[in-house]
Amino acid sequence: MRYALCLFLIICLMNVFCWAGAEDKISFIAVTAAANLGFQHVDGRSGQRYFLETVGSGVAFFDYNGDSLLDIYFVNSADLPGSHSPTPPTNRLYHNNGDGTFTDVTERAGVGDTGYGAGCAAADYDNDGNLDLYVTNFGTNVLYRNNGDGTFTNVTDHAGVGDSRWSLGCAFADYDNDGFVDLYVTNYIDFDFETHTDCTQKGVATYCPPESFDGSPDTLYRNNGDGTFTDATINAGVYNKDGKGMGVVFGDYDNDGDVDCYVGNDAEENFLYQNNGDGTFTNVGWMAGVEADENGNVQGTMGVDFGDYDNDGLLDLIAVNYQQQANALYHNDNGSFFTDVSFVAGMAESLPYVGWGADFFDVDNDGDKDLLIANGHLQDTVEQYDDTTTYPQHNHLLINNGQGHFVNASMKAVSGLQAREVSRGFATGDYDNDGDLDVLISNANDSPQLLRNARGNQGNWILIRTIGARSNRTGIGTRVKIQTGDLIQIDEVRSGSGYLSQNDLRLHFGIGRHKRIDRIEVRWPSGVVDIIRDLAPNQIITITEGSHSE
């Protein structure tokens, strides 16, 4: 009996030490320069403090040429009245050479938009097998159709998706399950250079708050299946004049087989559009409990993401917010209602920070989703009137302890995240195909950071690429459930999430020490279910719709 007790204590202590060491296993190495990523974000600031300058931009990890290596797209802003760059700021596409370096192929590919860019999302909208690219702007947005030969064609006018308002977020998903991805675009505020005014805080010049501007309604484009789109905003029930949309993410939070949509608004209620299954949505944000914080205060929400952080088979939500507003973690209780667990989960640490990018991802391959939050104040003068915060800020890597709590590991062992930056959008993806997720961060008016995950693959893993047949070709919206022993995880293929960015479209699952994957269940938007059993980990697999149906 005494022996058993001792053994039990030893096991407990081992668990404690194993956990204590988990953060030390995480290491990101900044490889931006070594990777030849010479991109520089330019926000066009000239001292006028146009509100445009504050929002920064997003990035994309996507494989534009089908060589199974993630390439990189950076969205850039542009010169504004009073600013003059030597060469016009341009969006940039970098081709992954497969050896840790990238080559700028913007001009050849024809994707160097020079508009005042913000967000991007990738998807195969015409189901031709090549990933296309949508870019949001202050001004007309751009849709680039991938020609399949390393070049793109600007098809915005033909497709009818050139929303000319100030758009920020964008995401593709097949909301009507017709086999073609549709497109949701968030529009932010009604900004006009003519009516621009200055603001101050304690006598210090600042950007005016979002409350000073009228909101701009978002747009939902329905894909007609012939290369064109129709504005379905009103018919689909997502017209909302009060929105000041920033981040947008699709996910099936109610497990009914169709994609729902969550929109983060700045200083307005966030929207949760529940898909009614008939081509329309209902905003159930306030009913479900994800529109405001626990005190009823609306937040300045920037980035949003769906992810099942507690592995209960339901997608939870993260919404990252402005300073003095804790990042909101909403636990999905039953597919209908959420509980705000921000404080219990350890989000209070975010209070001095202004959060932008957000992503649920398993950084250490231990089988539960961690969180990365990109931070950076929007007021470049904040330190002159507020001694509780700073303009550049630390990004936060929050490690999931598997018990509903997240621990900030940014400063402990994560070398590449220790610098303070003015970060905005970021993407996660395995650009070196080594089984762990790397990070690409866009910093406002600065160079980006490519952070290689150096030790994440100490845990076992699998990367899954989906190819739709009846469903949309990229398999966007596909739900994958992976079972390894008693560990069951879910995730969905998403185009556009976090803050204005595109993550790796392949689904990554860490499975810790499990040596086999017992079962992979793939539920396609069409309703087709594929099941793969008994699979070895540590490989990249492609699953085609219908190839493993039972």
Partner 1 sequence: MRYLFLTVLILSCSSFIVSAQRSELLLQHYRQAETFANQQRFDEALHEYQKVIELDPMLPQAYLGLGNIYLAQFEFDTALETYTQAIELKLQLPEIYCNRGIVYTKQGAYEKAVADFQQALTIDTDYTPARFELGFVYQQMGHYAKAVREYERVLPQRQGDLALHHNLGRCYSRLGQVEAAARQHEIAQQIREFQDALDLAQQQIRERPDNPDGYMALAKIYADHNQPAQAFEQYKAAILKDASLMEAYDAVATLYIQYQQRGKAVPVYKTAVGVNSEYIKGHLMLGLLYQRSNEPKASEHHLATARQLAEKAAETTPNVQNLNMLGAIYLAMTDYNRAEATFQQALKVVPDNKQAQEYLHQVRQARKSGSRTENQ
Please enumerate in sequence order all residues whose Cβ is within 8 A of that of 268, keeping only pairs 6 or more positions apart, or say none: 215, 242, 243, 244, 298
Query: Of 10, 11, 13, 287, which one interacts with partner 1 (CB under 8 A)?
Result: 287
Note whether 19 binds partner 1 by CB under 8 A.
Answer: no
Nearest to 130 by CA among 155, 162, 98, 157: 155
Note whether 292 binds partner 1 by CB under 8 A.
Answer: yes
Query: Of 178, 231, 312, 333, which one interacts with partner 1 (CB under 8 A)?
Result: 333
β-sheet bridge partners, residue 396: 373
Query: Of 114, 282, 339, 384, which one interacts with partner 1 (CB under 8 A)?
Result: 339
Pick the stretch among 169-177, 185-193, 287-295, 394-402 that binds partner 1 (CB under 8 A).
287-295
Query: Of 199, 529, 535, 540, which one interacts with partner 1 (CB under 8 A)?
Result: 199
Pick the stretch among 17-25, 196-204, 218-226, 531-539 that binds partner 1 (CB under 8 A).
196-204
Note whether 344 binds partner 1 by CB under 8 A.
Answer: yes
Helix (H) or strand (E) segment spanning residue 137: strand 132-138
The widest CA-to-CA distance across the chain, in whole angstroms, is: 81
Note whether 15 binds partner 1 by CB under 8 A.
Answer: no
Please enumerate in sequence order all residues whose Cβ is within 8 A of that of 118, keeping only pairs 6 or more positions apart, or say none: 55, 56, 57, 58, 75, 77, 136, 137, 138, 166, 167, 168, 169, 500
DSSP state of 326: P
Note whether 195 binds partner 1 by CB under 8 A.
Answer: no
Other CB atoms closer than 10 Å to residue 191's CB: what's the count?
A: 16
Query: Of 7, 294, 515, 542, which one interacts with partner 1 (CB under 8 A)?
Result: 294
Query: Of 202, 226, 486, 550, which one interacts with partner 1 (CB under 8 A)?
Result: 202
CA 375/CA 371 separation, integer angstroms: 13
Note whether 234 binds partner 1 by CB under 8 A.
Answer: no
Pick the stretch among 25-33, 152-160, 296-304, 488-496 that binds partner 1 (CB under 8 A).
296-304
Note whether 295 binds partner 1 by CB under 8 A.
Answer: yes
Query: Which C-beta is closer to partner 1: that of 135 or that of 288?
Result: 288
Nearest to 183 by CA among 143, 235, 129: 143
Query: Using CB under 8 A as the criterion, what x/- string covers residues 351-390 for binding partner 1?
Result: x---------------------------------------
Nearest to 220 by CA among 204, 197, 236, 196: 236
CB distance 269 to 257 below 8 Å: no
- Whole-number minimum distance, CB 534 to partner 1, in Å? 38
Both tokens assigned to 254: 């109610």
Binding site for partner 1 (CB under 8 A): 199-202, 209, 211-212, 286-289, 292, 294-298, 333, 337, 339, 341, 343-344, 348, 351, 404
